[in-house]
A and B are shown apart, each in its own frame.
Chain A
Amino acid sequence: MNHLNTLLRKLPVWVVYLVLALPPFWYLYLGLTGGLGVEPIKALEHELGELALIFLIIGLSVTPLRRFLGLNLMKFRRAIGVMTFYYVACHLLVWLMLDVQDPARIWADIVKRPYITVGMAAFVLLLPLAVTSNNLSVRKLGAKWRKLHKLVYPAAILGAVHFVMLAKGFQIEPLIYLAIIMVLLALRLMPRAAAQYVQRKLS
């Protein structure tokens, strides 16, 4: 694990930003050229939403990976968090501009459709986190910064619930996302001593 941590220390953070910034443009290109099938709007929307959930999960894994496996990704946590917000914003933008289109309907949907209300709530919770993801905010807010950034927990749950709520019939995939997020949050409740015991056992 130490070997891997040393390697990771050599990887510059900007690489993470760059690599994660590209896929939405790739999907947009696919959508324009027929690569997303005959209904590219829904496909693009779904693809970006699912990637947002995946990066939320990766972000929430940083702490448990360090506690239980000794794998240190702390250096990349801000980049993962900021880019998660980027995917959520792209997903929302596709919904607004390409899917619903009509401003009157957008507001009606947010108020009337519970799965959209839930998704919007997750976005709103992530907003202050994106805005305060910089060194100045960390210094200025001090202890409050850590507290504020715990908002990612309810946002992650709401994001997964949003996916569960829009499925037709009984579908497994969204439930798997919700389950993974719940497990990652539950791991945080484990007492420090127990976590250290698990880490010794695993390493």
Chain B
Amino acid sequence: MAFRWKNDLTAKDVTPKSLYMNRRQIMAGLSGLGLASIGGKAAAEELEPNSYEEITSYNNFYEFGTGKGDPAENAHMLTTSPWSVEIDGLVDKPGSYDFQEIMSNMTIEERIYRFRCVEAWSMVIPWQGFELADLLDMVGVQQGAKYLAFQTAFRPEEMPGVRYAVLDWPYVEGLRLDEARHPLTIMATGIYDQRIPNQNGAPLRLVVPWKYGFKSIKSIVRITATDQEPPTSWNKANAGEYGFYSNVNPNVDHPRWSQATERRIGGGLFASRQDTLMFNGYDEVASLYEGMDLAKNF
């Protein structure tokens, strides 16, 4: 069906290619002169997507290392073609779906979303992708299914980070079925009209913009429809800090740091913090959680 949700950030907010390629140099030069972003322009910044370089050089993808620059350095080792996604569990047409086959059945659209990391930094990213609901319709989700479980590729020979037990590999995530079917939820396959780079989760990843970034699982090889709440990696690692829902919520702090504010990447050494928005500004999802205590179901 596609196009069930309309951007309030539109294509004209996307920086032209010639500009985003060297925006950082410009920013760097300005901050060197002490001119850039010392407050005042927060409102204008709000709508401006981050540069391609920012989006692709500052990543959390622990399979390639825990440093922010490690994924950009190491993710080239990941073979993304051929790629297939195992779709199983409570679905009508389970099986191994080739990435190209999925793409030929999906409508690709652009979504410019705010992206809020649980570490209290954020970006604005122009994704290309398709609605997860469309993929679910393609395979037919059965009546009894209530959740989706997702799994990232686990390839020790291509992923230097999995040598260390930072997390219990492979990385797994989950959504409630109604969250997965929400028109905001997409499977991203591109950034700035280019094939999504490996460090950002090639060839396809989840993007759930009202949840902390770690919910948006990368380089997916398996999707399982289930009637049970599936285990999720960060929750397994530290249940007191990471819940199943992990909705962006300025009122519920991470035990080790406040979630009330965030720092938009790209502001340089003197970037000021801005207030974090409930559901990362996507109020239209509030009805999914009606009657739930979001401090308990964090």
Contacts and interface: CB of A to CB of B under 8 A. Distances in A.
Interface in A98-113: 98, 101-102, 105, 108-109, 113
Contact of B66 (A32, A33, A40, A171): A171
A172 B13 CA distance: 42
Given A32-B269, A39-B58, A166-B256, A171 B166 contact: yes
B68 A31 contact: no
A171 B164 CA distance: 8
Contact of B24 (A32, A38, A113, A114): A38
Given A38-B266, A108-B258, A166-B256, A101 B272 contact: yes
A42 B271 CA distance: 11
Nearest to A29: B32
A44 interface: yes
A44 B268 CA distance: 11
Interface in B102-142: 119, 121
A37 B27 CA distance: 12
Contacts of A197: none
Contact of B265 (A39, A98, A114, A166): A39
Interface string B19-60: 000001101100110000000000000000000011001100
Interface string B150-167: 000000000000001111
Nearest to B55: A38
B146 interface: no
A77 B31 CA distance: 38
A108 B66 CA distance: 28
Contact of A109 (B31, B66, B258): B258
Interface residues of A, number: 28
A170 interface: yes
Contacts of A101: 272-273
Interface in B42-96: 53-54, 57-58, 62, 66, 68-69
A115 interface: yes
- Main DSSP-derived SS at the A contact region: helix
A12 interface: no
Contact of A31 (B57, B119, B167, B269): B269
A44 B166 contact: no
A80 B47 CA distance: 48
A168 B67 CA distance: 11
Contacts of B257: 109, 113
Contact of B268 (A40, A114, A168): A40
Contacts of A32: 28, 31-32, 268-269
Given A34-B27, A38-B24, 14 more contacts: A32-B268, A33-B28, A37-B68, A37-B69, A38-B54, A39-B263, A39-B265, A41-B263, A41-B269, A101-B272, A105-B258, A114-B256, A115-B256, A170-B237
Interface of A: 28, 31-34, 37-42, 44, 98, 101-102, 105, 108-109, 113-115, 165-166, 168-172
> Which 10 A-B residue pairings sit nearest by Cβ, starting from the closest?
A34-B28, A169-B166, A38-B54, A31-B269, A38-B58, A40-B269, A32-B32, A169-B167, A38-B265, A33-B32
Interface of B: 24-25, 27-28, 31-32, 53-54, 57-58, 62, 66, 68-69, 119, 121, 164-167, 237, 256-258, 260-261, 263, 265-266, 268-273
10 contacts: A31-B268, A34-B25, A34-B28, A38-B54, A39-B68, A41-B271, A98-B270, A108-B258, A169-B62, A171-B164
